[in-house]
Chain A
Amino acid sequence: MRAMIVKEFRELVRDRRTLAMLIVMPLLLLIIFGYAANFYVTSVKAAVVGPQATQVASQLPPYFDVTTAEPDGSRADAESLLKDNKVDVAFVTGQRPVRALVDGSNLFAAQSIVGTLNKAGDSVQTEVLYNPDLKTSWVMVPAIIGLILTFIGTIITSIGLVREREAGTLEQLAVMPIKPSTVIIGKITPYFLVAALDMTVVTVLGILLFGVPFNGNVLAFALGAAVFLFVVLGLGVLISTLSKTAGQAIQTAFFFLLPQILLSGMIFPLDAMAVGVRWIGYLLPLTYFTMISQGIMLRGASIASLWLAYLILAVMAVVVFTGATLRFRRDLAPGSGHARGGQQPVETQAVTAAGPGGTP
């Protein structure tokens, strides 16, 4: 018994990736939960339009951070500010009571705003746009679409590619007259198609089952999804070049996946996170896709207003793919430099262990 325990401990200590998961992960989660987990929004961006704009703006409590005060603005201007996600609430003055248009796609902010405004009583009439009933599902479904794509992209792609390396067939491909880029494209195409199909199904189901609206341009949405897919598939290829076994690939992919679930704004609002942690969220691709999917589906936002998100995703795609291809090329064509340092080429054990011999 003792021998067994000692042995397991020794093996665990040598397994760096699992150790990292067991020790670093809980610490990471603690820090994230400590600093990020915050459902309470302390301040929201507001705009005031209409004849008494400046007056009303100065009367608002500091909770409302007024970024725009437009005396000449109309309700339409207010709505477009909300649609473009420039503010979370827009006050339209010029009538009694003052109208407060709240962006329902930003769930926690909206809930907080509505709660605050309710205390103001009859002087303000609140109207929630895009998600009138403040349903969580309406906000979650667009985010989950992104999550599913991330899952397929990173975990499944990395396993698929690593299996090739594990089986030893990667070497064979390397000696055949195929270009490394052909191999990569050939390998990710099925996953791209499956992911696209998955996404369509989930979106349609989301709309049908939960009544989530689709107010925006389908093509814009598809474009955003495609770019995002490239990012996550590229990450999958990159992870595969860092892993020797499928088990390692899953562990590494998990490291990439977990922060995205917690810090992309899907569960805890970005605005509510401590600044120190928020910037991590801004590095994650899922954050930007969520902006795109929520914007298009709930607010009917245009590409123009979301251009930054699209651009960032495009840049990420290029960077990740270039990195992944370069590393992959090294695996397939060790043309320059040494074979990966110090590693004895795989010897015969693989064949003898793999081939089943003899009767059961």
Chain B
Amino acid sequence: MSTAARSDNALFGMWAFLATEVLFFGPLFFGYVHARLAQPDAFVSGSHHMHIVLGTLNTAILMTSSLTMALAVGAARKGGPPGRWLGLTALFGLVFLGIKAAEWVMEFGEAAGAAGGEARFYFLYYAMTGLHAVHLVIGLGVVAWLWRHAKRFDAAYHTPVEAGGLYWHFVDVVWLFLYPMFYLLERYSA
């Protein structure tokens, strides 16, 4: 099989995998909609406890990591070394996780004490941002692997960078939904 055909297969496979991923997150989003429709007030008050500055900062950081990932793919396509862009991507990803972990710790006291609708809000918050973080950790593993092997990629062969990029962007897009769902809620309902 030619390299081009292999590359084609791998990217197609990644798209199919991302379709699975969308459906994997599906029940959580469905559960969120259901719970919020049932207890809208609990969700508004729950979102008041979110650290909006940290959340917004984190959103900006993650979007920037998508930019550097796109630049890494672009560099690989042109045959330039994608290494430093991959390094920056991993750095932004790590910072995001650090801030996220700090938020989790700060919110934990209130979450543990919450009852009723607010308890469900926190349950969904931890489940969804937690699953997102798990995906980000996997993404970091992928980026680290790509970084280590950056010298292998050139204009003719850079499929892993493209496929890793697709995955990274998917994880970022999930966050773009989570951010308004948990942090911006009060601004619409107040």
Tell whether A pairs with B: no
